[in-house]
Amino acid sequence: MSACTLVAPPAPPDPVDEEGTLDELVAALWTGLRGDRPVACLICGAEMSPEYGVHARAIGGHCSTCGASLH
């Protein structure tokens, strides 16, 4: 008997459903990243992980789903 465990991917965060300019979307992303919170990728809507530099503050974000990065 073989055990096959199917791990469901995490549910994507709610898509940004507000009308706004790209600048506002990016600003919202940065607010989330600097607050050390997961944010939704602008490209695919998946979760972007904060990237850190030498300081504790996030310097950008990276989407592991589509490879987009924000710096």
Residue from 29, 41, 58, 70 touching Zn ion (CB under 5 A): that is 41
Q: How many residues bind Zn ion (CB under 5 A)?
A: 8
Q: CB of 16 within 8 A of CB of 40? A: yes
Q: Which of 5, 13, 50 is nearest to 64 (CA)?
A: 50
Q: Compare residues 3 and 11 and give the one whose CB is closer to Zn ion.
A: 11
43 is a site residue for Zn ion (CB under 5 A): yes
State the Cα–Cα distance between residues 54 and 71, nearest whole angstrom.
Answer: 14
Residues engaged in binding Zn ion (CB under 5 A): 41, 43-44, 46, 63, 65-66, 68
